[in-house]
A = this chain, B = another copy of it.
Amino acid sequence: MTGERTAGERTAGERLAVLTGGQLAESFAKTAHGVLRYGTREVVCVIDAAHAGRRAVDVVPFCASPAPVVADVAAAHALGATTVLLGVAPFGGRLTEAWREMLGTAIGLGMHVEAGLHTDLRADPELAAAARAAGVQIRDLRAVPDDLGVPLAEPVGARVVHTVGSDCAIGKMSVVLELDRAARDRGLRSVFVPTGQTGVAIAGWGMAVDHVISDFVAGAADRLVREGAGRGDLLWLEGQGSIHHPAYSGVTLGLLHGSSADALVLCHRVGRTAVYDYPGTPLPPLADIVRGYEQAAGWVRPVRVAAVALNTAGLDDAAARAAVDAAAAETGLVADDVVRFGSGRVLDAVLAALPD
């Protein structure tokens, strides 16, 4: 996989403006939140008229970014932004007229635009013509290579940790990003391997595997870990979906079987007792979810869950501690909320579980 084929490596020195147009505080803006908290490119500002004049961190503490929020694209341009990233996944993944206009303005002002919609912006004749005229790029974070195949049956040459989850949108990406950062802080050659559009926006490489033809999901995972092995020797492969999700379980299993994982980290949102999108699909007890993932992995290649990463958002610290203790007692594994309490204990447990 090369920069040309995927969303690609970004040019050094780019300065981002993250467009959330009124929705910075909403969960739809998870791409914005992830890029603000974990991104490696400089973020000049957020564009969001509803929150203009504040700092990102004051609107969403998780962002942990002092970037100012400005009212419009022109203000971002005045601050020196070179690229506008659409930081919201609108319902259905289609481009609305309002977004389209703002992105058109950005192109007119000579800025690159970057988005991960189901609509490929490069296929919009008007935006494409404007980008050609302005000499700027339109980048599709969901673009996937057209030469994908099946996994190679060969060692990857790196140790791979894969996050799996009880449900979608519970923080699997945040967990690998926290663990990767903690591992790098310890001097390890650690690499985050992105499998979704937000991860691609953060890391500047990777692949949105949910946009790959179904026959090639495992092959895509395999290609990603091999590319990761060229960047370091401890890989954190972002998970997608859940084996319990009626719509997305196939992506989950394909990633799991294509990952060559040496250890799994199970992510769970405390209090979630049914699949969020399918309330009629109950989730089993945590220990059964652990067993399910180990069974599923074992159909192709055995691997164990090394630790449980809980998302305790919405609980106070005492309730969060109690939830962590209960999860550890139930599963017999190290458990923690790595965002709230730090990643040290989960990282220790993962490193202890890995082969030398």
For residue A214, CB closer than 8 A to chain B, the reply is yes
For residue A326, CB closer than 8 A to chain B, the reply is no
Candidate in A243, A253, A278, A299 with the most chain B CB atoms within 10 angstroms: A299
Given contacts A295-B292, A300-B281, contact A249 B257 (CB under 8 A): yes
A251 touches B250 (CB 8 A): yes
Given contacts A281-B300, A292-B299, contact A246 B153 (CB under 8 A): yes
> Which residues from chain B contact A249 at a C-beta distance below 8 Å?
218, 253-254, 257, 299-300
For residue A24, CB closer than 8 A to chain B, the reply is no
A10-18, A43-51, A68-76, A205-213: which lies at the interface:
A205-213
A214 touches B250 (CB 8 A): yes
For residue A204, CB closer than 8 A to chain B, the reply is no
A217 touches B214 (CB 8 A): yes
Which bucket holds chain A's interface residue count?
A: 35 or more
Interface CB pairs A-B, < 8 A, 30: A153-B246, A153-B278, A153-B281, A209-B214, A210-B214, A211-B213, A211-B214, A212-B213, A213-B214, A214-B214, A214-B217, A214-B250, A218-B247, A218-B248, A218-B250, A243-B253, A244-B299, A244-B300, A246-B258, A246-B300, A246-B301, A249-B253, A249-B257, A249-B299, A249-B300, A250-B250, A250-B254, A250-B255, A251-B254, A292-B295
In whole Å, how far is A279's beta carbon from the nearest beta carbon of chain B?
8
How many copies the complex holds: the figure is 2
> Which residues from chain B contact A281 at a C-beta distance below 8 Å?
153, 300-301
For residue A90, CB closer than 8 A to chain B, the reply is no
Given contacts A210-B213, A215-B211, A249-B218, contact A153 B280 (CB under 8 A): yes
> Which residues from chain B contact A299 at a C-beta distance below 8 Å?
243-244, 249, 292
User: A296 touches which one: B150, B247, B280, B296 (CB < 8 A)?
Assistant: B296
> Which residues from chain B contact A251 at a C-beta distance below 8 Å?
214-215, 250, 254
For residue A228, CB closer than 8 A to chain B, the reply is no
For residue A219, CB closer than 8 A to chain B, the reply is yes
In whole Å, how far is A65's beta carbon from the nearest beta carbon of chain B?
30
Bound CA–CA A248/B292 (angstroms) = 19
Bound CA–CA A296/B243 (angstroms) = 8
Bound CA–CA A257/B249 (angstroms) = 8
Candidate in A213, A281, A296 with the most chain B CB atoms within 10 angstroms: A213
Bound CA–CA A252/B296 (angstroms) = 12
A210 touches B215 (CB 8 A): yes
For residue A317, CB closer than 8 A to chain B, the reply is no
For residue A39, CB closer than 8 A to chain B, the reply is no
Question: Shortest 9 CB-CB distances between A and B: which pairs?
Answer: A250-B254, A150-B247, A250-B250, A210-B215, A253-B253, A214-B214, A217-B250, A214-B217, A214-B251
In whole Å, how far is A110's beta carbon from the nearest beta carbon of chain B?
33
Bound CA–CA A177/B299 (angstroms) = 28
Bound CA–CA A13/B328 (angstroms) = 67
> Which residues from chain B contact A248 at a C-beta distance below 8 Å?
150, 215, 218
For residue A151, CB closer than 8 A to chain B, the reply is yes
Chain B residue with Cβ nearest A254: B250
